[in-house]
Amino acid sequence: MKYIIGLIATLLVLISTSSFAGSVDTYQFSKPEYETRFHDLNKILRCPKCQNQNLADSNSMISQDLRKEVYRLMEEGRSDEQIIEFMVMRYGDFVLYKPKVDNVTYFLWYGPIGFGVLGLIILSIVVVRQRNKKANAGGEQEQSNEELSDKEQQALDNILNKNK
């Protein structure tokens, strides 16, 4: 019985480790400069499935397909700009790690800065108003402390006259 349990455990370990082993993409480039371009493009393009990885870092099936597509387009003689344009037309601006600044992505690029500036303006207005309220409240207290009622003034005069 121990032999069977050991055999099953060994098989489970072998099966589970083989699922972690991914395929390694190997490409034969017709020109040596294509390999550098290929790696640079794979760093620029984002995996549509992973969302936080570029094509070079992702092991997903779609990333493998996109790497093959980049390789194919490069071997056809297309330029980097043409390959990027093809990917953007097919997958949208999301496939780019750094989307272009245009009417569609303007808010994406400058929105956080605008919200930060707006937040600082609102914060400074709130702080100034609070300071003004405290200053006005303190000034009213000082004025009320400086002015004594007739009874208080007479009591103060009596105390001062007794000490003479």
Per-residue model confidence as pLDDT tens digits over 48-99: 888 788 888 888 898 899 999 999 999 999 999 999 999 999 988 888 877 7
With a cut of 90, say whether residue 121 has pLDDT above it.
Answer: yes
Closest among 46, 32, 112, 114 to 74, alpha carbons compared = 32
Residues 99, 94: Cα–Cα separation, whole Å = 7
Closest among 59, 53, 52 to 24, alpha carbons compared = 59
Residues 22, 54: Cα–Cα separation, whole Å = 17
155 vs 23, higher pLDDT: 155
Place of tokens 């956080």: 112
Predicted pLDDT at 72: 94
- pTM (2 decimals)? 0.53
Predicted pLDDT at 114: 92
3-class SS of residue 161: helix
Residues 12, 149: Cα–Cα separation, whole Å = 94
Which percentage of the chain shows pLDDT scores above 90?
Answer: 32
Q: Radius of gyration of the chain from Cα atoms? A: 37
Phi, psi of 15 (to 5 degrees): -65, -45
Predicted pLDDT at 139: 58
pLDDT band per the 50, 70, 90 thresholds, residue 108: confident
Closest among 65, 37, 27, 33 to 49, alpha carbons compared = 65
Predicted pLDDT at 27: 81
- DSSP label at residue 94: G
| Partners of 45 in beta bridges | 96
Predicted pLDDT at 119: 95
Judge whether 95 and 48 are in contact, CB under 8 Å: yes
What is the tens place of the pLDDT at every residue in 138-151?
Answer: 655 555 556 778 88
Residues 88, 97: Cα–Cα separation, whole Å = 11
